[in-house]
Structure 1
Amino acid sequence: MFSEIGQLVFDNEAVAKTSDFTMGLEIEMQRVDETGQLSQEPYPSAAGDEKTNPWITNDFLETMSEVVTPPAAHALDAMHYLYSINTALRTALSPGELLWPLSMPPRLPKDKSQIPLAKMGPKKEAYLKEWLKRHGFSEGTPCGAHVNLSIDPHVFNLVADNMSDRFSSHIDLQNYLYAKIAQGFLRYRWVITYLFGASPIAEANYFEKGEGPSSPIRSIRQSSHGFGNKFTGDYTSIQRYVDRIEKGVKEGKLISDYEFHGAVRFKGNTNLRELPKTGVSYLELRMLDLDPSSSVGIRTNTLRFFRLLASYFIMSPGLHPEEVNRVIARADEMNEEVSEEHPNDVSKYQASARAFLNSLEMYANKIQLGPEYQEELDDLLDRVENPLTTPSAKLITHLKNGSLTDYALRRATRYQESALQSIRPFKGFENQAHLSADELKHELFKGSWEPDQDKKQE
């Protein structure tokens, strides 16, 4: 079951460190009015300056709010941050404004030219305008949940001390392990789409007449109908990842390296070219639709599952370098097929999904993870066996005249009312241009809760 590195970690009783990832979250949601139209209200001033506040910002549209958490040492810590910052955003909204809980946008106007792009400064605004010319308005509007993961330094130190003959430097090891985890997530992205896909339909005016799926599917956002550039990355190594993106920019297929929106992105240096030399410091995982059953768009159990996956990918044998592109290309095809299946149908790849989750269960048992992981795996196996329990299948039971607007507004109103009842919502963004992670922690919680924040993401 274990790779050479996995066996080393297991023999040194350090397995717990392979699931002890630092986590950060980025959650996008559209601001809407009480009728389910994109909001006409200005950016909420009490949320701070959208150009400088690192914790609440905008993406693509002026109505597309993004909540960003500081890195936290545990899934529950990350969720504490997320709930608190999400509440701060909600209490900053204008009267009558709501946060749309679905990945696919609300009904769009026929004339999309009147909807303002995010006001993020001249350079970013020029980029957005160029992006709009290339892709069209609708393609930039889906929202999602991004999970950032960084490996516990103890893992790097243990491997470096015992396998110095295999890796030329600490950064070489770092890049190797992050590439290995990325390959694992891309290889099994289709499983994530099946289990967590939650964008079965698009509202009016998203697609042009005659375009788009003719019936509900598991995930529009995770399919070829969804967000962004279809440029494929090379995840064989960090150097090849960078070379591929730079070639795309040179050939005009990408506006800039920022436009690469693969399902996984390597992060660690704002200058992409330097990344192989300075080393990856965390992964950005971009394969989750918003979960409308949660006011913040993601659940703690989902984060635990992602941690389990990343640990499994560290500990298990990886792909041979010459196999990486072929295997990921095949996985992309499988993801497209799964994303376009009807939500109520048993997946074409049910047996493969079952086998993968059973393998995860054996791994969790072998390393003696807690009961919360076993419970989550049991729930996810139920989704594999019964597609009616998947998020998209549950969503389509709320369809009314081909729309989820009524359902989304009920949820959005409930979440907003709950946030407005918060005993002590945070009001500190309006007067402070930039709060550090430590300042934010102090201001948000005032000693009522203390996250274990001993590791940093850049």
Structure 2
Amino acid sequence: MTILNLNGIPPLKRECLPLWIIDLTSTELSFSQRVAALDTPEFLQTLTQIKRGVEREGLRIQSNGKLATTPHSPALGAALTHESITTDYSEVLLEFITPPETDANVTIEQLQDIHKFVMSHIDGEKLWPMSMPCFIDDENDIPVAYFGESNVGKMKRIYRLGLKNRYGSMMQAIAGVHYNFSFPLDFWQQWDALHGSPHNQDQISADYLALVRNYRRLCWLIPYLYGASPALCSSFLKGKTHKLPFKKVGKGTYYLPYATSLRMSDLGYTNAEQSALHICYNQLDNYVNLLRTAMNTESSTYKKFSAGKDGNYQQLSPNILQIENELYSPIRPKQPTASMEKPTDALVRRGVSYIEVRALDVNPFTPVGISRDQMDFLDVFLLTCLLIPSKTLDAEQLMEANENLTSIVLEGRKPHLQLKKDGQPIAMHTWTERLFDELAQAAKLLDKAHASSRYSAAVTREWAKIKDPELTPSGQILSALRKDNADNSAFGLLLAKEYTDAFANFPYTHQSAEDFETMAKASLEAQRTIEANDDKDFDTFIRAYYNEPPAKKMPD
């Protein structure tokens, strides 16, 4: 079987095993059998309880389109402790978080509430409506986020300093949208009974991983349909080595003619050090072990940055991953964490409770970065990924999935584009025809469950983009730029101004301005309490974090 050596990591005997070694299914049912089984009142009722949430990132910019230089406003609360408004890598990279909801309309309205409040408290600044950053003359102008003087706040900041040293600040200024999705427990109970599987958390985790494996096989479709970064500002390429055949439009915008999501390319959220990890989601304990190994294995590349010597912290650790969240992946199996609990420990203790889709660009054609139509289609897509029988992934198949994703992000709208499926070339259009037939069947289930037709309508809208690539966001953006010989910055600033006005006219729906003000004050007080309760120096704190024995699964 495959033995993998990861930059000095001892050989891992439970890496992405060949298909004949692992069988995670109890009773294998075909796609059509599963669809038929779900078409019952009991199953359909559980589909109405699917929950989703959104994490939307966006850069604060000045009125002239340049990066904001101001710190995170105290009027918004403490980035460390606020449950809805925080910062990601940079002090100017805002992140808005909605809680799990069964109604996608509620999620959109919650995002509108957050945007309205934030825009009224950032002194005339605007929110950049695109994934790739605005014009940034010097990446040292991108301020690393500050979370206060507590040990946990310092840890979050030093982790980001490590990202800066490892990958550069420009890459960390890229914004995205994460879509969190979960099935209710009643659904899993019926699903496990259908397959003759024991109903417990281990089985639920295995079922989620089956979905994740199919997502990895098929996620090339997501940047094709929703990729919105076919072009970027020339400042982003400063100092970068690449061999991409860029063309120029406007004064300083570079693009690839058929690109969909440069954010998802090697220029964006990828790095060579992690490419050797081959995280493949066959079994939860294997996934956890690979992440833990990467967190505990020194990197020959990153060891040059100080990790606490003589009190100098340029990163948290010299290892391949400082923390698990450093792993860049288009999807993650997730379990909410307690304070200072490692994500892998949470997975071991409580299993997978939802998945986080991470392949979405910010949608520049909607004020809040994602639309209801997208969410409806994503629900269909993720249900389809579960309904399709999911074989295990070996290293070769994972590589194939990654190559397909790369092909789509760089030239997804290219006529007659070829992908690979099970080692054989296949026309993208041929594959999508087959896939959309399955998507349509899943959409009918969701329509029936919700007594609507919106899910089938979502599939029909996306199919139109398959037939005409110019209807995709990437196609629309490039068409607009080339028509007017315009720059990405001018296009983004025009939208930013339009959305600023739109936010002012949004009504508060679920939370009022007073509610947000109360939340902001409470978060600031919570940060002060955390800082006051620190009882050890940072060196001791961070050593204790890394030296804590990994959690082990407790017997049932």
How would you bin the TM-score normalised by the shorter chain?
0.7 to 0.9
Q: TM-score, normalised by structure 2?
A: 0.72
The structural deviation recorded for 1:194 is 0.7
The structural deviation recorded for 1:45 is 2.5
Provide the rounded CA distance (Å) in 2 between the counterparts of 1:335 and 1:19. Answer: 31
> Does 2:72 correspond to 1:65?
no
Provide the rounded CA distance (Å) in 2 between the counterparts of 1:178 and 1:355. Answer: 23
Would the alpha carbon gap of residues 55 and 410 (structure 1) be closer, same or farther in structure 2, given more than 3 Å must change?
A: same
Provide the rounded CA distance (Å) in 1 between the counterparts of 2:506 and 2:441. Answer: 42
Deviations 1:292-317 (A, max 9, x none): 00000001011011111222223332
Q: Is the 8 A contact 2:59 2:94 kept in 1?
A: yes
Secondary structure (helix, strand or coil) at the match of 2:262 reads: coil
Q: Which residue of 2 aligns with 1:129?
A: 161
Q: Is the 8 A contact 1:27 1:66 kept in 2?
A: yes
Deviations 1:384-411 (A, max 9, x none): 1111111001001232656211111111
Q: Which residue of 1 aligns with 2:234?
A: 204
Question: How many residues are matched?
Answer: 430
Q: Match for 2:475 among 379, 393, 403?
A: 393
Provide the rounded CA distance (Å) in 1 between the counterparts of 2:444 and 2:79. Answer: 45
The structural deviation recorded for 1:345 is 4.6
Q: Which residue of 2 aligns with 1:241?
A: 287
The structural deviation recorded for 1:70 is 1.1
Code of the aligned partner of 1:242: V
Higher mean C-alpha displacement, 294-303 vs 261-270: 261-270
The structural deviation recorded for 1:225 is 1.7
Provide the rounded CA distance (Å) in 1 between the counterparts of 2:348 and 2:32. Answer: 24
Provide the rounded CA distance (Å) in 1 between the counterparts of 2:350 and 2:38. Answer: 25
Aligned runs of 1:186-205 on 2, under 5 Å?
186-205=216-235
Code of the aligned partner of 2:497: T
Provide the rounded CA distance (Å) in 1 between the counterparts of 2:142 and 2:90. Answer: 8
> Does 2:94 correspond to 1:15?
no
The structural deviation recorded for 1:344 is 6.4
Q: Match for 1:113 among 130, 140, 147?
A: 140
Would the alpha carbon gap of residues 201 and 162 (structure 1) be closer, same or farther in structure 2, given more than 3 Å must change?
A: closer
Code of the aligned partner of 1:408: G
Secondary structure (helix, strand or coil) at the match of 2:233 reads: coil
Which runs of no fewer than 5 residues in structure 2 stay unpaired?
Answer: 1-29, 148-152, 248-255, 298-318, 419-427, 524-556
Secondary structure (helix, strand or coil) at the match of 2:285 reads: helix
Q: Is the 8 A contact 2:142 2:169 kept in 1?
A: no
Q: Match for 2:103 among 74, 77, 88?
A: 74
Q: Is the 8 A contact 2:75 2:520 kept in 1?
A: no
Would the alpha carbon gap of residues 3 and 273 (structure 1) be closer, same or farther in structure 2, given more than 3 Å must change?
A: farther
Which runs of no fewer than 5 residues in structure 1 stay unpaired?
Answer: 437-458
Secondary structure (helix, strand or coil) at the match of 2:57 reads: strand
> Does 2:361 correspond to 1:361?
no
Deviations 1:7-44 (A, max 9, x none): 55445641352464111100000000111110112322
Q: Is the 8 A contact 1:82 1:296 kept in 2?
A: yes
Q: TM-score, normalised by structure 1?
A: 0.87
Rg larger for: 2
Q: Is the 8 A contact 2:49 2:102 kept in 1?
A: yes
Q: Is the 8 A contact 1:3 1:317 kept in 2?
A: no
Q: Is the 8 A contact 1:69 1:81 kept in 2?
A: yes
Aligned runs of 1:26-105 on 2, under 5 Å?
26-95=55-124, 97-105=125-133
Q: Which residue of 2 aligns with 1:449?
A: none
Provide the rounded CA distance (Å) in 1 between the counterparts of 2:97 and 2:336. Answer: 18
Would the alpha carbon gap of residues 161 and 375 (structure 1) be closer, same or farther in structure 2, given more than 3 Å must change?
A: closer
Secondary structure (helix, strand or coil) at the match of 2:91 reads: strand
Deviations 1:233-261 (A, max 9, x none): 22112111111111211222212212112
Higher mean C-alpha displacement, 51-60 vs 426-435: 426-435
Q: Match for 1:374 among 442, 453, 456?
A: 456
Secondary structure (helix, strand or coil) at the match of 2:92 reads: strand
Query: What root-mean-square deviation, in Å, do the aligned CA atoms of Structure 1 and Structure 2 show?
Result: 2.4
Provide the rounded CA distance (Å) in 1 between the counterparts of 2:475 and 2:366. Answer: 16
Q: Which residue of 2 aligns with 1:335?
A: 405
Q: Which residue of 1 aligns with 2:197?
A: 166
The structural deviation recorded for 1:278 is 1.4
Higher mean C-alpha displacement, 325-334 vs 409-418: 325-334
Provide the rounded CA distance (Å) in 1 between the counterparts of 2:446 and 2:371. Answer: 24
Provide the rounded CA distance (Å) in 1 between the counterparts of 2:32 and 2:345. Answer: 30
Would the alpha carbon gap of residues 371 and 346 (structure 1) be closer, same or farther in structure 2, given more than 3 Å must change?
A: farther
Q: Is the 8 A contact 1:344 1:388 kept in 2?
A: no
The structural deviation recorded for 1:113 is 1.9
Code of the aligned partner of 2:385: F
Higher mean C-alpha displacement, 299-308 vs 359-368: 359-368
Secondary structure (helix, strand or coil) at the match of 1:353 reads: helix
Q: Is the 8 A contact 2:447 2:453 kept in 1?
A: no
Code of the aligned partner of 1:64: L
Code of the aligned partner of 2:505: Q
Provide the rounded CA distance (Å) in 2 between the counterparts of 1:372 and 1:184. Answer: 24
> Does 2:378 correspond to 1:306?
yes
Would the alpha carbon gap of residues 368 and 73 (structure 1) be closer, same or farther in structure 2, given more than 3 Å must change?
A: closer
Code of the aligned partner of 2:470: L
The structural deviation recorded for 1:368 is 5.3
Q: Which residue of 1 aligns with 2:513?
A: 426
The structural deviation recorded for 1:162 is 5.9
Secondary structure (helix, strand or coil) at the match of 2:476 reads: helix
Q: Which residue of 1 aligns with 2:322?
A: 255
Q: Is the 8 A contact 1:25 1:69 kept in 2?
A: yes
Code of the aligned partner of 1:389: L
User: Identity over aligned residues, as a percent?
Assistant: 23
Higher mean C-alpha displacement, 404-413 vs 265-274: 265-274
The structural deviation recorded for 1:177 is 1.6
Q: Which residue of 2 aligns with 1:453?
A: none
Deviations 1:151-193 (A, max 9, x none): 1111122245566x633x5111210121122112211110111
Would the alpha carbon gap of residues 414 and 59 (structure 1) be closer, same or farther in structure 2, given more than 3 Å must change?
A: same
